[in-house]
Structure 1
Amino acid sequence: MKMLIIGGTGDTGQWFVKFFQSRGFDVHVWGKNHRLDIAKKLNVPFAEDLDETIRTSDIVMISVPINRTGDMIAQTAPKMKSGSLLMDVTSIKMGAVAAMEKYTPGDVEFLGTHPMFGPGISDIRGQTVILTPTTRCKHWLPLIKKIYADSGAHIEIITPGEHDEIMRVVQGLTHFAYISIGTTLETIDFDVAKSRRFMSPVYEIMLDFVGRILAQNPYLYAMIQTNPQVNNLHDIYIAQCSQLSDLIKRGDVEGFVQKMKLAAVHFKNTESAQRRSDKLIHNKIVEYETLIQQTGRHCAVKHLYTNKIHTGTLTGVTPLTITLQKNKKRTTLKIENIKLLRDEEYLRWKKEHIPNVTKDISVYVPEGSNPNIIKQIIQQSCPDTINNTGIIDTYLHQDKQGITYRIMMIAENHKQTMQQIAELLEGIGCTLR
């Protein structure tokens, strides 16, 4: 099935290229900057003849900034073939769906979608995808829903109006509040990095979310605020901030308490919110404690952004960093950027990436013993370093059965591994030759 992603060379577009490509779609991309290098990296064709690619595609996805979505729909929809599907991925739905309804031919279906995640996630599993279908999506809706659901996504189906009403808080108010905290910190010239030395768990989480929003494309977040239903929400939010501030300025503690209690009653399930946030805080504490327990041990961590594996002895842990030492080299890494590999992950990585060596060891085995059982004992004695054990020679010498075992193992510390194997064999009654 042929799919064209307009805006497929952008960050979000690239994510969906990989997603649909991995599910068997013949994906083509187009972007206004003609980034042929990105298309090549994604191993997909760039639509040099955009109109022809639109006409021959089964699905066209619009993945462009909010302020360009309407115009792109108007330019694209009339050129689509009968029976095809037009869909968008913008975060404001009423305008996009209205444009699709206006410009899409009667024999072409259309579907508004809003993936509630950014292009930084590695897997859609557990993520929410909102679909805002109209009556003109009877054929394609079940298929698109199935593709996302089978991939582990949580699907919500609502009207475009319901979507924008909910998003004015979920995105509009939330982003506005976080960005306003960031601009306040800038206005008072607050030393954010220094403050981390004195942070509580709640402050750390809040600060990270503020930083996360500020690290995104500011034009995207400005466009989200253009949701018509967000405008009056800004005024309401600012008015509430002013009321709370006035209560404190007047020394009206009871008034402040009453406002907070009313908000809690309206919020309803504050206990569940506290439990979920406790879990988040606990996970951060567990991560730190796990690193502390690894101090002095050889371990491996994966850098979350470069995917590089760093190995060495963990010599130091602070609330913000770890230090690994390998031979005479010390490497300091930020905890926020790494993931400690579990033992089985580290073992798998070592077997795939560290060179192997092959060593032979010859022994006389005890009378009546089974050489194959001894081979299994060798293999199981050092599972972290031995990849394979085989028998390459058997012989008799003065009524003694001799066996030569060939062992393929990780080159790192292989002399120590061979010493352990020799001691094991002698311990079960074998005689080294």
Structure 2
Amino acid sequence: MIKMNVGIIGGSDGLGKTLIYYLRDEFDVYITGRDHKKGRHVADEMNVNYIESNEGLANISDILVVSVPIQHTCDVIREVAPFMKSGSVMIDVTSVKEGPTKTMGEALPENVEYIPTHPVFGPRTTRLDNQVIVLTADRKGKWYGKVYDYLASKNMRIIETSAEKHDFMMSIVQVLTHFSFISTASAIEKLQVDISETEDYESPIYNLMIDMIARIVSQNPYLTYNIQSMNSNGDKIRNTLAEAVLELRDVINNGDEEAFIDIAIKATKHMGDITNALGRSDKAIGALSYEYSYLNDSVGEEVGLKHIYSGKIHVGILESIDGKTAVLRNGTKTKKLRIANIRIMLPDELHQWKIENLKTVTKSISCVFPKNVNVGIIQKTVLMHDNILNIKLTDAYNGPQIDDDSVSLTFEITALTKDDIDQVKVLFTGFGGIIR
């Protein structure tokens, strides 16, 4: 089966680079970037193809994804529109949809379809499962169903709406949220508060809030500014928030308790399903507490910790933890890992990883047993040990030096470590055997 060509303009950075992970196994992926040296490096690193020309990329792509900064999106659409293959489709992934939707409709020829999209997740997202993607196509051709079905096959939550409705909703989801979070971070900076010092006093809710604020303010500030400045609803949203802040400030400064309570109750009632909100936040708090408790109980034991973003697995003896860091020892080496960036591997998951990644040990053990010993039971009992991968009988001997009522059995054992082999010897003696 011939793979389709997927081109990503802007594939060397941000979301464009992230998309390579999701697409390269199913499509022939080609990318462009502003910095050709960096672009070629990313392409080589991720085993995809690099092309220096946006126009050349458009000319060979069955599916062309425009993943460039918001302020350049419409210009890039106009730049490559004349070079698109007949029967191909253009997809953009910007978080503002009115401008790109209108530009694609005007610039692309009739024989090229376009599907404006907004993946509502960032470059740090590791899975498409349950992630939201918004489609704002103002007309649907043959490609639309194919793209929809592909996204559905990845278990994504697909929202179909107009560009205008999308941009209004994003003015709440992004513009209002980012503006209020950055304002809070800016106030903390102006107050010259040491965030690390507040950790001694923090509640779980404060902890989650600070993490969410830090996540927003650490994003590319140019992108955040363009989300603010290029959404047509932005002025109204920011002005309304500023008015609400000033109103609340004045009510408290004037000692008007009744007005404060009225504002708080109205706001609470408008928040929708409070019960679900409390449940979700309780889950988040519970997850943080469980993770810390699990690690605390595992000090001195072997654990597997998977880095959330790189996917790298770290296995070793957990020496210690504090509020932020886990210290893992593997042999003579120790490694410090930020707890916020790791996921604890479940025992079965860690065991499977060991089987697939560690060098196994195979050794033969000869042992004298009573003649009526049940070989099948011995083998089943040995295999109950998690780190024993295989046991097979290779020899049974009843000649000289072996009593008539005994038999010497030789088993070939494959295990994860030499220590596991030694444990098998202990099991054999438990069955009445004598190691030869």
TM class, shorter-length: over 0.9
Provide the residue aligned with 1:404 in structure 2.
Answer: 410
- The separation in 1 between residues aligned to 2:133 and 2:182, in whole angstroms, is 25
Structure 2 residue corresponding to 1:146, chosen from 145, 149, 158 = 149
* Aligned residue pairs, count: 426
Distance 1:309 1:429, change over 3 A: same
Report matched runs for 1:49-198 at 5 Å.
Answer: 49-135=53-139, 137-198=140-201
Distance 1:53 1:419, change over 3 A: closer
- The separation in 2 between residues aligned to 1:71 and 1:420, in whole angstroms, is 68
Asked if 1 retains the 8 angstrom alpha-carbon contact of 2:327 and 2:336, the reply is yes
Report matched runs for 1:217-366 at 5 Å.
Answer: 217-226=220-229, 227-325=231-329, 331-366=335-370
Larger mean CA deviation between 329-338 and 28-37 belongs to 329-338
- The separation in 2 between residues aligned to 1:175 and 1:114, in whole angstroms, is 17
Matched, 1:392 2:394: yes
> 1:194, CA displacement in angstroms?
1.3
- The separation in 1 between residues aligned to 2:423 and 2:210, in whole angstroms, is 50
Provide the residue aligned with 2:19 in structure 1.
Answer: 16
- The separation in 2 between residues aligned to 1:238 and 1:50, in whole angstroms, is 42
- The separation in 1 between residues aligned to 2:219 and 2:92, in whole angstroms, is 20
> 1:396, CA displacement in angstroms?
2.1
Asked if 1 retains the 8 angstrom alpha-carbon contact of 2:133 and 2:158, the reply is yes
- The separation in 1 between residues aligned to 2:110 and 2:306, in whole angstroms, is 51
> 1:346, CA displacement in angstroms?
2.2
Runs of 4 or more off by more than 6 Å in structure 1? none
Distance 1:109 1:297, change over 3 A: same
> 1:152, CA displacement in angstroms?
1.1
Asked if 2 retains the 8 angstrom alpha-carbon contact of 1:301 and 1:338, the reply is yes
- The separation in 2 between residues aligned to 1:165 and 1:341, in whole angstroms, is 41
> In structure 2, what residue type is equivalent to 1:396?
N
> 1:327, CA displacement in angstroms?
5.8
TM-score by length of 1: 0.93
> 1:82, CA displacement in angstroms?
1.9
Distance 1:82 1:211, change over 3 A: same
> In structure 1, what residue type is equivalent to 2:370?
P
Deviations 1:340-376 (A, max 9, x none): 2221222223333333322221123332444344233
Provide the residue aligned with 1:33 in structure 2.
Answer: 35
> 1:196, CA displacement in angstroms?
1.4
Matched, 1:5 2:8: yes
Structure 1 gaps of 5+ residues are none
> In structure 1, what residue type is equivalent to 2:409?
I
- The separation in 1 between residues aligned to 2:237 and 2:422, in whole angstroms, is 72
> 1:80, CA displacement in angstroms?
1.2
* SS of equivalent to 1:264: helix
Report matched runs for 1:373-392 at 5 Å.
Answer: 373-380=377-384, 382-383=385-386, 385-392=387-394
RMSD: 1.9
- The separation in 2 between residues aligned to 1:166 and 1:313, in whole angstroms, is 48
Larger mean CA deviation between 54-63 and 296-305 belongs to 296-305
Matched, 1:371 2:399: no
Asked if 2 retains the 8 angstrom alpha-carbon contact of 1:375 and 1:405, the reply is no
Asked if 1 retains the 8 angstrom alpha-carbon contact of 2:31 and 2:57, the reply is no
> 1:68, CA displacement in angstroms?
0.1
Asked if 1 retains the 8 angstrom alpha-carbon contact of 2:32 and 2:57, the reply is no
Distance 1:315 1:38, change over 3 A: closer
Deviations 1:298-328 (A, max 9, x none): 3232333454444443343333333345566
Distance 1:306 1:92, change over 3 A: closer
Deviations 1:67-98 (A, max 9, x none): 00000001111221221111100000000000
Distance 1:242 1:113, change over 3 A: same
> In structure 2, what residue type is equivalent to 1:198?
Y
> In structure 1, what residue type is equivalent to 2:195?
V
Structure 2 gaps of 5+ residues are none
TM-score by length of 2: 0.92
Deviations 1:221-267 (A, max 9, x none): 00100111111211111011000000001000110110111111222
Distance 1:152 1:242, change over 3 A: same
> 1:395, CA displacement in angstroms?
2.2
Asked if 2 retains the 8 angstrom alpha-carbon contact of 1:128 and 1:153, the reply is yes
- The separation in 2 between residues aligned to 1:419 and 1:71, in whole angstroms, is 69
